[in-house]
Amino acid sequence: GAGVSQTPSNKVTEKGKYVELRCDPISGHTALYWYRQSLGQGPEFLIYFQGTGAADDSGLPNDRFFAVRPEGSVSTLKIQRTERGDSAVYLCASSLGPRGSSTDTQYFGPGTRLTVL
Amino acid sequence: GENVEQHPSTLSVQEGDSAVIKCTYSDSASNYFPWYKQELGKRPQLIIDIRSNVGEKKDQRIAVTLNKTAKHFSLHITETQPEDSAVYFCAASIGPGDDKIIFGKGTRLHILP
């Protein structure tokens, strides 16, 4: 079946602009995660959704970052007033069951490469 | 804060030899330890994971061992092949609800012909 998909694959924007990054999880997966990966680093946790609610948003770096998942499927990561330091690959992952369950294996999407000029 | 340390950062092994990557974690409550392989420009792919109720898990040429007392876990790849060349990340679950996965910085594995 289809894996996790993310759009756009690449996004170039100017400093100060607003961007939205979209994630389509695997159908039926209840849990969704956002990560940020900088060059030469491991994925850095941003936020975890279980269903429609954000179960843990402690990884969001500041209030310019916000994410939603209104119907418990597709999620959008929103970044306001982008800064050059926001440049990274933004990865989305989903799992069938919640963290801590026997079905919590996370499957990653291809990522969105965000470049802030 | 809670973290995961991974070493070495780079590893070169002769094709056919074994490779070992080691990780330590700080949260004694961590109970889930996945390993991901990431090729250049691609998404991370889960290769094996282990939960805290077992000490070792094996899947063909790949094995993971876990020592909860020492808070460290290791990835072992035997009979390495050129297609094993990639960056490998270890990770551990952390947090009050055990709901975050924290990744190590990665190990770049080179398989030499």
Q: Are A109 and A6 in contact (CB under 8 A)?
A: yes
Sign of the CA dihedral with B85 first, then A109, A38, and A45 last: negative
Cβ neighbours of A24 in B, within 8 Å: none
- Asked whether the beta carbons of residue A104 and residue B42 sit closer than 8 angstroms, the reply is no
Alpha-carbon dihedral angle through residues A72, A32, B40, A37, given to the nearest 10 degrees: 110
* Shortest Cα distance, chain B CAs vs residue A115, angstroms: 15
d(CA B98, CA A117): 37
d(CA B83, CA B106): 17
**What three-state secondary structure class fits A26?**
coil
d(CA A64, CA A82): 8
- Asked whether the beta carbons of residue A42 and residue B89 sit closer than 8 angstroms, the reply is yes
What separation in angstroms does the CA of B12 have from each of A102, A105, B60, B109? 35, 29, 21, 6
What DSSP string runs through B17-62?
S-EEEEEEES-TT--EEEEEEE-TTS--EEEEEEETT-SEEEETTE
**What three-state secondary structure class fits B84?**
helix
What separation in angstroms does the CA of B39 have from each of A2, B44, B74? 20, 8, 20
Cβ neighbours of B34 in A, within 8 Å: 105-106
Whose structure tokens read 């460290």? Answer: B72
Looking at chain B, the whole-number percentage of residues with pLDDT higher than 90 is 81
**Structure confidence by residue, pLDDT tens digits, B37-83:** 999 999 999 999 998 888 999 999 999 999 999 999 999 999 999 99
Mean of the per-residue pLDDT values for chain B? 93
Nearest CA in chain A to B95: A56
Amino acid at residue number B75 = L
B97 touching chain A per CB within 8 A: yes
- Asked whether the beta carbons of residue B43 and residue A58 sit closer than 8 angstroms, the reply is no
**Structure confidence by residue, pLDDT tens digits, A10-37:** 999 999 999 999 999 999 999 999 999 9
Cβ neighbours of A108 in B, within 8 Å: 36, 43-45
Which of B46, B90, B99, B103 has the most A C-beta neighbours within 10 Å, making it the best mutation to test the interface with A?
A: B99
Radius of gyration of chain A (CA): 13
How many CB atoms lie under 10 A from the CB of residue A89?
21
Q: Which residues are registered as beta bridge partners of A114?
A: A11, A88
Q: How many CA atoms lie within 13 A of A43 on its CB side?
A: 34
- Asked whether the beta carbons of residue B97 and residue A99 sit closer than 8 angstroms, the reply is yes
pLDDT band with cut points at 50, 70 and 90 for residue B29: confident
Which of A91, A106, A107, A113 has the most B C-beta neighbours within 10 Å, making it the best mutation to test the interface with B?
A: A106
Cβ neighbours of B95 in A, within 8 Å: 56, 58
pLDDT at A1: 57
pLDDT at B97: 66
B89: which 2 tokens? Answer: 């990340």
d(CA B21, CA A97): 29
pLDDT at B71: 94
- Asked whether the beta carbons of residue B91 and residue A109 sit closer than 8 angstroms, the reply is no
How many CB atoms lie under 10 A from the CB of residue A14?
8
Whether the per-residue pLDDT at A98 is higher than 90: the answer is no
Whether the per-residue pLDDT at B18 is higher than 60: the answer is yes
